[in-house]
Amino acid sequence: MTDIAAILTRIERAMAQETERGRVADYIPELGTVDPARFGIAAAMADGRVISAGDATLPFSIQSVSKVFALSLALGRLGDACWARVGREPSGDPFNSIVQLEADDGIPRNPLINAGAIVVSDILLAGRTPESAVTAILDFVRRAAEDEGIGIDTAVATSESDTGFRNRALAHFMRAAGNLDHDPEETLAVYFRQCAIAMSCEQLARAGRIFAFAGHTGPGSDALITPARARRINALMLTCGHYDGSGEFAFEVGLPGKSGVGGGILAIAPGKASVAVWSPGLNAVGNSRLGTMALEMLARETGWSVFGGV
Ligand code: GLU
């Protein structure tokens, strides 16, 4: 049997040796204050165990990893009608690209880039105040992680709102194109706060179980999403979860995954484990440098790549 605890410890030791740790995102000023020396990894297994190494209980800003949870909720609310407003194709462009949106008449390529996630926030806002839409997202994440202690880092949310001019440009453009139903400021109030959810690797790995185990948090639990939805969100994570680094991540790691500029990555080994890794320094395409390296090592040592082999 694969000894996951030993593998995670080996990974954590190997990453501690790395001197080139990438660059901490500072375009959201509050994120720039995070210590680049941090590294944590956790795996939530099919038998209910959560195994971890390093700084796995320290909360960090999950940023774009939140997009898979918001999407789960939006699909639950609106079903396949969501796909009239957001596509399902990889963008091959940076996470906050504006160019494509104009060419595509305000329909974002997929729900895991910023423009697509802003549409998802708009769907979740229907019939609600921004506060109750955010509460719905937070409740969903708490239920998935079975942890009521998960919250929002309001300093990060304010910092992003104060400086989020590019996301405002995306939202206003989509409103002009008829693809936002609400005042862009209200939609962004949901989006910015959802991105500022803070979770530790252990909490995030537990929340990701719904994607690893066909909607369930564990054996015998009620499903939070249908198996078909979990499968489809995994497909989107594989093709679109790392922006224009998605092809490389599939090539090197071979697992559905979603990264965030806070340095977190959620990776799903279907039927086997939900894995969360965190290291704040990013590579050139905005994905955690050590987090990606750690997942490459994990995939090699476990043989968990969805493409088989080792
Ligand atoms: N809140 C971030 C933004 O909109 C999310 C980006 C990310 O994590 O990739 O810029």
Mean pLDDT, residues 78-82 taken together:
95
CA of 233 to the centre of ligand 1 (A): 19
The answer to whether the predicted template modeling score (pTM) of the entire model surpasses 0.75 is yes
With beta carbons less than 8 A apart as the criterion, state whether 66 and 197 touch. yes
| Per-residue pLDDT tens over the stretch 123-180 | 999 999 999 999 999 999 999 999 999 999 999 999 999 999 999 999 999 999 999 9
| Per-residue pLDDT tens over the stretch 57-70 | 999 999 999 999 99
Q: List, in order of start, the domains of the chain with CATH numbers.
A: 4-58+199-302 (3.40.710.10), 64-195 (3.40.710.10)
Instruction: Count other C-beta atoms under 10 Å from residue 233's C-beta.
Output: 26
With cut-offs at 50, 70 and 90, classify the pLDDT of residue 3: very high
Residue 90, CB half-sphere, CA atoms under 13 Å: how many?
17
| Per-residue pLDDT tens over the stretch 98-129 | 888 989 999 999 999 999 999 999 999 999 99
Q: Is 118's C-beta closer than 6 angstroms to any atom of ligand 1?
A: no
Q: Is 114's C-beta closer than 6 angstroms to any atom of ligand 1?
A: yes
Q: How many helices (H) and strands (E) does the chain have?
A: 13, 10
Catalytic status, residue 64: yes
| 267 CB-near residues (< 8 Å, 6+ apart) | 253, 255, 256, 257, 274, 275, 276, 277, 295, 298
Nearest atom in ligand 1 to 28's CA: 10
Catalytic status, residue 272: no
